[in-house]
Structure 1
Amino acid sequence: MSGSHLSIPAARPVIGEAEIEAAVRVLRSGHVIQGPEVAAFEEEFSELVAERTCVAVNSGTSALHLSLMALGIGRGDEVVVPSFSFAATANAVRLAGAEPVFADITPDTYCLDPDAVAAAIGPRTAALMPVHLYGHPAPMDRLMPLAARQGLAVIEDACQAHGAALHGRPVGSFGQAGCFSFYPTKNMHALEGGMITTDDPQLARTLRLLRNQGMEQRYENEIVGANMRMTDVAAAVGREQLRQLPAWTEQRRANAKVLDSGIEGLPVPQVADGARHVYHQYTVAVPDGRRDAVQRELAGQGIGSAVYYPTPIHRLRPYQDLSAPPLPETERACAEVLSLPVHPTLGQGELERIARAVTVAGGLR
């Protein structure tokens, strides 16, 4: 729930003078589409993902879609995904011509449950697409061996997890491809855009062809591709945001600690052993059907919040034709989750106000 009347919005995208100056510099240069800024952004972003090759595209959804296409996943294939995610996760699978198969999540991190994933794998399964939800890494230490035993590709949906890591290894460096989003409310943005990471040179070349109408050289089309290029304006903004990402991430993590210590009686976000959570969202669970009432109470006090996600993907209209197994943890999460402000522009007083209001609104004091 957000709006201009809220004194503490749920999210507050940052666009500073550095980003504005970078955009103006590019516009004046005349190199505005997939030029030197994009190449520099790809090189600099690789430092965040263990020096993997990076391919910039126009959105996180495009990153997922092109990764599936480049891996040859399409008609007749199935991809195991969580139903507790933004619809883009499953949309990318269908756009590639494959079908999503939904698996349940764990209640502590809201990421895929490896046991549920194992049960969802069938003869047509070609890939797993774990989501590093809310900025918490999925259990890649269990999912990667599972995929290897079954001969499956892994595409990481890291669209909410810039800088997250598991046992010191950054997300986006586990699977054959990792996909990031630069939408304005993400931990860093490029106004709009996406990035694909890979350690496979041939896959990287295929991705570059696919994003540019199947061409490496102009008018020498090698494959059927699309126009999913990133603009140099977006890349220039992204480069400025990337420079600030480490400080913003530490501020998010510090803000989360304040909320952890101040919120009483409600389950606060859990962090798995060895996980580095970057708190794209700070999500509490409000049980017993009280979530919506708590959200209304917070809004009445000028505090924004949001529900990510109120409806599981398998219950959305485009996916009701699929037969999903029982997903009890997914259904519970959709009924209970409430994401609170955690963005790096918050002050200590605002964080304490949020924690106090959540505790009171929950009927706990």
Structure 2
Amino acid sequence: MSFPKFAVPTWPPQWTEIFDATDRCLKSGRWGQYRSETQARLTSRLAKLVDVSSDHLRLCCSGTAAIECSLRAAGVGPGDEVVVAAFDYPGNVRCIEMVGAKPVLVDVNPDDPCMNIDSVAAAAGDRVKAVIASHLFGHAFDVSRIGKLCRERNWVLIEDACQVKGMKIAGARAGSFGDFATFSFGGSKVITAGAGGAIVARSARHAAKLASILDRPSETFPMSPLQCAVIEPQLDRLQEMHAIRNDCASYLVSELRDRTPSWQWLPSPLGADSAYYKLAVLAASAQQRARIVTLADQHGFLLGAGFRSLHRASERRCRKPVELKFSAMLGDRLFLIDQRLLLCEPEVRSQYVDVLMHIYHECMES
């Protein structure tokens, strides 16, 4: 059986606006400065997006650095514990360990990849100081209930919004719900500068603590003026790009869900308000997932495995107060369709359906 032909959108975006913004930054001579108008303008725009003043949002070198700096600004250190999902970006657990704290692993929901509220409640302990909760693959964690629980327990909530810039949850943008929130502009994120991040501190006290970590006296983990120049034109078109991705994700799910019964599609319930960094699909088994990823890789289709679950981590490394069966399931079986494919033109989408049906039949026959 021949593999269907398909077109992949160019990434990173090759927009005239990006080239013009970079050119202006270079010609201004300010690209070699520690601080520039470009950085200040991007800071102001991102702060407005999440309804804080500019001095409550700081640019930094990566989303991972943003998580670590948030933990430090929250006062997390040796002897403390931080609640995090066993199925999450592995760098979040490493950040907890980097500040000397111990991860407390909790499970995700049975029908989406986000942290489960009952699992979080069961993780309570005298040493818990913070919770890192991630919005993943177009899904939002339960901001209302997890936020309420953190306030009741006096836990600091660090909202990982690295994947979902611009996503709306209950009328507010992702990044508006935590004591701290983090964004990433790395790699294939929905806005990219190759690397980069941002940290939101909701309170004046946390903003001041964050400044004491980042300013020594120049910025410790900076993002350059050229990176900021590249980001701004993408921010201008963020909602337009979200609409394209959301529409493509809806199309793929509607066309393929009934035709691929051994796969479980996990589209976001947020619909038009969502932000897809990846579209998540659950394979029937770990073996089938491996075959799917191999076939996609052989033919250049941007699809890959999800995060590795940490449910097998040792008790010495992590406290595990609850069963982690859904995290284990996602770690073994989840695969992800990349947001770059979701940016395709409408007339190309049927090609993707053909490709995915080809992969599905190959898996079922092998």
8 Å CA contact 1:70, 1:206 repeated in 2: yes
Say if 2:311 and 2:327, in contact at 8 Å, map to a contact too. Answer: no
CA contact (8 A) 2:159 2:175 kept: yes
Instruction: Tell me the residue number matched to 1:93.
Output: 96
Residue 322 of structure 1 is matched in structure 2 by 318
- Preserved contact between residue 256 and residue 342 of structure 1 (Cα < 8 Å): no
1:203-240 per-residue CA deviation (whole Å, 9 max, x = no partner) reads 22332332222x3xx7xxxxxxx711111111111112
Which residue of structure 1 aligns with residue 18 of structure 2?
19
State the match for 2:354 in structure 1.
356
Among 238, 255, 263, which residue is 2:231 paired with?
A: 238
The amino acid of 2:102's aligned partner reads E
The answer on whether the counterparts of 1:34 and 1:230 sit within 8 Å (CA) in structure 2 is no
Aligned to 1:290: 288
Shift of the alpha carbon at 1:340? 1.5
Q: What residue identity is the alignment partner of 1:327?
A: L
1:315 CA displacement? 4.3
d(CA) in 2 for partners of 1:208, 1:275: 36
The answer to whether the aligner puts 1:47 opposite 2:69 as a matched pair is no
Mapped partners of 2:118, 2:236: distance in 1: 38
1:99-138 deviation digits (Å, cap 9, x = unpaired): 2111110132200000111111211000111010123211
| Partner residue of 1:257 out of 218, 242, 250 | 250
Residue 31 (str. 1) matches residue 30 (str. 2): yes
1:79–1:321 Cα change, 3 Å: closer
CA distance in 1, matches of 2:35, 2:229: 11
Residue equivalent to 2:78: 75
Asked if the contact 2:103–2:317 (Cα under 8 Å) also holds between the matched residues in 1, the reply is no
Q: Give the C-alpha shift of residue 165 in structure 1.
A: 2.4
> Who is 2:175 aligned against?
172
Q: How many equivalent residue pairs?
A: 348
- 1:192-341 to 2 correspondences below 5 Å: 192-213=195-216, 215=217, 227-263=220-256, 264=259, 265=261, 266-272=263-269, 276-288=273-285, 289-309=287-307, 311-313=308-310, 315=312, 321-324=317-320, 325-341=322-338
- Say whether the 8 Å CA contact 2:278–2:337 is kept in structure 1: yes
Question: Aligned AA for 1:50?
Answer: D
- State the partner residue of 1:222: none
TM-score by length of 1: 0.87
Root mean square deviation of aligned Cα: 2.5
1:247, distance to aligned residue in structure 2 (A)? 0.7
Secondary structure of residue in 1 paired with 2:305: coil
Is residue 64–residue 89 contact of structure 1 (8 Å, CA) maintained in 2?
yes
Residue 133 in structure 1 maps to residue 136 in structure 2: yes
Shift of 1:77: 0.9
One-letter amino acid matched to 2:244: Q
Q: Deviations over 1:166-199 (max 9, x none)?
A: 2112211111111000013111122311111133
Amino acid at match of 1:359: M
Change (3 A) 1:62 1:285: same
1:313 Cα deviation from its structure 2 partner: 3.4
SS in 2 for 1:130: strand
Unaligned runs of 5+ in 2: none
